[in-house]
């Protein structure tokens, strides 16, 4: 699989499946585009969005390059959408906001469900995964702080009573 190492590409992550399933989970939590290289005989994982694609190993170099290019194009075309990078920076349009580890996890949860509703349970699970307090009060505090931060860049977090939170562009 030497051709994978040759394709050093910071904007599209290449993950061997199932050997690197933990990596895939982390990249998914971060909303990063991933090309999943599925081992011979392994079941293909369920894709979670248009920012993921898969190919069976062994794959031709031209096919890997084409799939990476396609994922890169999709990632760039959604670059106007908010995203949280690996350093915990919220990027939206030309704006950049630093987030705490907990805020970044909560925001990634909101992004993961966008344009839908992220439940309290789902957001609390993300906080637990990041070894942070996931109490209702802690989650409410993170949401309150995030609301203040994202308001300055044109985003809003709305409470949907009894269901969770909705991330949307402020009008």
Domain ranges of the chain: 2-77, 83-169
Taking residues 70-84, report their average pLDDT: 75
Query: DSSP secondary structure string, 67-85?
Result: HHHHHHHHHHHTTTS-EE-
Confidence of residue 76 (pLDDT cuts 50, 70, 90): low
Per-residue pLDDT at 43: 95
Does the structure show a pLDDT above 90 at 150?
yes
Does the structure show a pLDDT above 90 at 95?
no
Does the structure show a pLDDT above 50 at 109?
yes
Per-residue pLDDT at 6: 41
CA neighbours within 13 Å on the CB side: how many for 17? 22
CATH 3.90.550.10 fits 83-169, yes or no: no
Does the structure show a pLDDT above 70 at 66?
yes
Per-residue pLDDT at 83: 87
Taking residues 151-161, report their average pLDDT: 92
In the chain, % of residues over pLDDT 90: 54
Pick left, alpha or beta for residue 114 (phi over 0 → left; psi -120 to 50 → alpha; otherwise beta).
beta
Please tell me whether residue 21 adopts helix, strand or coil conformation.
helix
Q: How far is CA 39 from CA 21, 48, 53, 58, 64, in A?
A: 12, 19, 14, 8, 14
Taking residues 58-82, report their average pLDDT: 82
Taking residues 57-67, report their average pLDDT: 93
């Amino acid at each position: 699989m030497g051709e994978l190492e040759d394709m050093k590409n910071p904007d599209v992550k290449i993950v061997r499946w199932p050997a690197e399933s933990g990596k895939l989970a982390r990249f998914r939590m971060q909303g990063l585009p991933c090309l999943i290289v599925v081992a011979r005989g392994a079941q293909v994982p369920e894709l979670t969005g248009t920012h993921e694609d898969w190919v069976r190993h062994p794959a031709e170099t031209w096919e890997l390059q084409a799939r990476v290019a396609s994922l890169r194009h999709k990632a760039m075309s959604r670059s106007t959408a908010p995203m949280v990078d690996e350093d915990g920076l919220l990027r939206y349009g030309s704006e950049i906001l630093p987030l705490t580890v907990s805020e970044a996890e909560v925001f990634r949860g909101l992004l993961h469900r966008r344009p839908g509703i992220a439940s309290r349970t789902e957001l609390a699970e993300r906080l637990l995964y990041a070894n942070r307090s996931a109490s209702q009060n802690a989650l409410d505090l993170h949401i309150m702080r995030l609301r203040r931060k994202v308001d300055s860049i044109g985003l809003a977090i709305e409470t949907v009573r009894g269901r969770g939170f909705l991330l949307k562009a402020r009008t």
